[in-house]
A and B are shown apart, each in its own frame.
Chain A
């Protein structure tokens, strides 16, 4: 998985490309842990994310919980396979998806 950060003031966008699975989820977790100081709006751009498993959902859920205390999390450009996983797990109801 390739992760790219783009920061403008307190807005951080993270582009995740590839697969968010058991092997790669710790990378996203680590990057977010060290990047969210002072961030009030976090955007996860999934336009090039092809796959997510429960390991990825775990990171997304803990990030959602954290950001709801200090601002907002937006998930955008979700592709079909990832959208299906969000649907069946009810994540589409708890995330702000654009």
Chain B
């Protein structure tokens, strides 16, 4: 698995996206799957940047591995911020009219809908979120 660590700040989002898409570069990853992966990466990284260490800034580590035939992308996010399992958060109610809609919860919903699996564990003081996409 390739790995990069960097300050968990939203300004670093593009760096993280580039790291993952560079890994995908040499594989024939369909555009649709690629955009879904970018979406999941954005939602998870931005969530870490905004909440994990608030009000401080801490470090995030992103790991990425790509398996060929069948094409599967595995991405892991690690941080040492407050323990937080996004999978326990209730899904946003997508049936409400606009006036009653709140924006919270849409990010993690998008991750769930665009990935094939999401796993969370808390180990050695670290939040570890692993997403998998069969592209």
Chain A residues engaging chain B, CB cutoff 8 angstroms: 21-23, 50-51, 53-55, 57-58, 61, 64-65, 68, 80-81, 84-85, 88-90, 93-95
Q: Which residues of B contact A58 (CB under 8 A)?
A: 103, 106
- Across chains A and B, the number of contacting residue pairs, with CB separation under 8 Å, is 64
A85 x B98 contact (CB < 8 A): no
Shortest distance in angstroms between A58's beta carbon and chain B's nearest beta carbon?
5
Residues B11-35 near A (CB distance < 8 A): 13-14, 31-32, 35
B47's nearest neighbour on chain A, judged by CB, is A54
> Is residue B65 within 8 Å, beta carbon to beta carbon, of the partner chain?
no
Chain A residues in 8 Å Cβ range of B101 = 61, 94
B interface residues with partner A (beta carbon < 8 Å): 10, 13-14, 31-32, 35, 38-39, 42-43, 46, 92, 94-99, 101, 103, 106-107, 109-110, 113-114
Closest residue on chain B to residue A67 by CB atoms: B98
Q: Which residue of B lies closest to A59 (CB)?
A: B103
Residues of A within 8 A of B31 (CB): 81
Residues in B neighbouring A54, C-beta threshold 8 A: 43, 103, 106-107, 110
Distance in angstroms between the alpha carbons of A77 and B85 in the assembled complex:
37
> B101 CB to closest chain A CB, in angstroms?
6
**Most chain B beta-carbon neighbours within 10 Å: one of A50, A65, A89:** A89
* Residues on the A chain within 8 Å of B113, using CB: 88
B97 contacts A94, CB within 8 Å? yes
Minimum CB–CB distance for B48 against chain A, Å = 12
Q: Which of B14, B94, B99 contacts A65 (CB 8 A)?
A: B99
Q: Contacts A54-B43, A81-B32 hold; do A61 and B38 have CB atoms under 8 A apart?
A: no
Contact between B106 and A89, CB atoms less than 8 A apart? yes
Chain A residues within 8 Å of B14, by CB: 23
- Which one of A21, A68, A90, A95 contacts B94 once the chains associate, using CB atoms below 8 Å? A90
Interface pair B43/A94, CB less than 8 Å apart: no
11 CB < 8 A contacts A-B: A22-B10, A54-B43, A58-B103, A64-B98, A81-B31, A81-B32, A81-B35, A85-B39, A88-B113, A89-B110, A90-B96
